[in-house]
Structure 1
Amino acid sequence: MNIQPRFETARANAIREVAVVNKIVADLIRTLEMIESDIAAEEERVSISDRSDPKYPILARSLIERRNNIKMTIAALEQRITGPAK
């Protein structure tokens, strides 16, 4: 009974999953950079960077929420490939 091929398949699948997750994380990081740029541009456009100001733009607030959600997604994906923190 030869079990080797099964282990190789599981190992290959794990390696492939890590590669896919790393690509997704890289794409999300590029998205974060674009969102950061968009936030800065919107703040500059309206000349308001104080988030507690009632006149702070809604677009910037929305982008900040999106950025925060993407950061949490990245953290979850990174934890998935590295395992739980000790």
Structure 2
Amino acid sequence: MARLASPLLLGECAVRAPQNKPAQRLPMVNPSLNETLRGTAATNWLQIATLIETLLRSVELLTVEIEYEEVRVGVRDLSDPTYSVLARRLRARKDNIRATIVSLEMLDQEAPKAA
């Protein structure tokens, strides 16, 4: 029964715990934080610009593929029931990519205001 009288079982540990807590410290101010944020913003801007360029190239390629498909089928009118299903899907994809480009350009324009 001597073991049951240990400090852990009697709750003495809970009484001592606050005494063993390290003092709370204020967070250190990072003098290079602004530089880090500027560097991150520059990296993000570069990534966005690169992504926009890549997407613009994709739009160009899709335009060529759509034109090829329209010539192959011989129908260029979207309202024609015999218009190529592939060309129609490629057009939808191209429109989605253009919308993404517009969103990224808006994001890119807002970025300098935040910095």
TM-score by length of 2: 0.69
Amino acid at match of 1:37: V
SS class of match (1:83): helix
SS class of match (2:32): helix
Q: Are positions 1:53 and 2:88 aligned together?
A: no
Q: Are positions 1:12 and 2:51 aligned together?
A: no
Matched residue count: 84
1:24 equivalent among 23, 38, 51:
51
Listed one character per residue, the Cα deviations across residues 27-71 of structure 1 (whole Å, up to 9, x for unaligned) are 000000000000000000011000000000000000000000000
Q: Which segments of 5 or more consecutive residues in structure 1 lack a partner in the other structure?
A: none
Aligned to 1:35: 62
Aligned to 1:80: 107
Amino acid at match of 2:40: N
Q: Which segments of 5 or more consecutive residues in structure 2 lack a partner in the other structure?
A: 1-27
| Structure 1 outlier segments of 4+, above 2 Å | 1-4
Once superposed, what is the RMSD of the aligned Cα atoms?
A: 1.6
Aligned to 1:62: 89
Amino acid at match of 2:109: T
SS class of match (2:93): helix
- Which structure has the larger Rg? 2
SS class of match (2:77): coil
Sequence identity (%): 35
